[in-house]
């Protein structure tokens, strides 16, 4: 089974169309929305869509407020591991991650443990970004590659597919990053555990509605957190495998 985890905060204007595009690619996908009590009614919209259009493959976790992107993904991954999902995706709700790439992710995942949607391999790219934003993004990945000693070119992207065993092994409760660095930490932990990782090209498309949640606070958190991850390399490599078994009950809406 395949699950896409999508955190939301004020994404009501995007979500219905995004789900339509996802199910155009593959009707067997399950989608878990993790909404941080969006003031614009994103959660209420998801409830409506579950009842009227997607009663069997759309699910919702509602949190009391903005608790951070990293904790949202961790909650979604844990939800997935309590059930029998074998492929677990993460993607944004703002159309920056085009659903058209989902079949390619799945095809590559037949032979690799972690698939990274990459803006910085041949065929990848970004649209409608200023030169400054391009420079910050590229240099952030370059800095992380050099400090952490890993070869992948796009470490800050959030469009990924994990095979179940990766998320079972990297000890989600031990992850400390919650912002921009969260994506770096996930890939670094998978790399240290010797999982096979492959980048595939994607074109990152500037969000069609709403506003970016990137901030200088998130950027500087990533700068220092990368150094902390490098300092913790030996500890992270030695962390023991932790098996999470699926629940026995039938998959239901939370």
pLDDT at 212: 53
Q: How far apart are CA 89 and CA 106, in angstroms?
A: 10
Kindly write down the DSSP assignment for every residue of 88-138, as one continuous string: EEE--SSSSS-GGGHHHHHHHHTT-SEEEEESSSTT-EEES--HHHHHHHH
Name the token pair of 95.
């159309």
**Burial of residue 56, with CB atoms counted within 10 A of its CB: 0-12 exposed, 13-18 middle, 19 or more buried:** exposed
Per-residue pLDDT of the chain (254 residues; tens, 9 = 90+): 999 999 999 999 999 999 999 999 999 999 999 999 999 999 999 999 999 999 999 999 999 998 888 899 999 999 999 999 999 999 999 999 999 999 999 999 999 999 999 999 999 998 877 787 778 778 888 889 999 999 999 998 999 999 999 999 988 888 888 777 899 999 999 999 999 999 999 999 875 554 555 555 666 777 788 898 999 888 888 775 554 444 444 344 44
Q: How far apart are CA 141 and CA 130, in angstroms?
A: 17
Q: How far apart are CA 74 and CA 160, in angstroms?
A: 14
pTM, full prediction: 0.89
Q: Which residue, 134, 137, 148, 229, is CA-closest to 182?
A: 229
CATH of domain 2-238: 3.90.550.10
Name the token pair of 49.
């869509």
pLDDT at 181: 86
**Residue labelled with tokens 């941080």:** 36
Q: Is the dihedral of CA 203, 94, 172, 234 positive or negative?
A: positive
């Amino acid at each position: 089974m395949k699950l896409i985890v999508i955190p939301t905060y004020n994404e009501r204007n995007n979500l219905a169309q995004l789900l339509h595009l996802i199910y155009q690619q593959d009707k067997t996908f399950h989608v878990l929305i993790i909404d941080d009590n969006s003031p614009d009614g994103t959660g209420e919209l998801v409830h409506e869509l579950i009842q009227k259009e997607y009663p069997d493959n759309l699910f919702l976790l509602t949190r009391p407020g903005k608790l951070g992107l990293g904790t949202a993904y961790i909650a979604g991954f844990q939800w997935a591991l309590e059930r029998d999902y074998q492929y677990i995706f993460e993607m944004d709700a703002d159309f920056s991650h085009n659903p058209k790439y989902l079949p390619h992710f799945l095809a590559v995942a037949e032979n690799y443990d972690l698939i990274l949607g990459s803006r910085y391999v041949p065929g990848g790219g970004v649209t409608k970004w200023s030169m400054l934003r391009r420079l910050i993004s590229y240099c952030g990945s370059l800095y992380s590659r050099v400090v952490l000693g890993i070869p992948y070119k796009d470490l800050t992207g959030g469009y990924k597919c994990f095979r179940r065993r990766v998320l079972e092994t990297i000890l989600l409760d031990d992850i400390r990053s919650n912002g921009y660095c969260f994506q770096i930490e996930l890939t670094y932990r998978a790399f240290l555990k010797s999982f096979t990782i492959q980048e595939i090209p994607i074109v990152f498309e500037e969000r069609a509605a709403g506003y970016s949640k990137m901030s200088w606070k998130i950027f500087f958190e990533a700068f220092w957190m990368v150094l902390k991850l490098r300092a913790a390399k030996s500890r992270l490599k030695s962390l023991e495998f932790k098996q999470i078994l699926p629940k026995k009950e039938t998959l239901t809406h939370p």
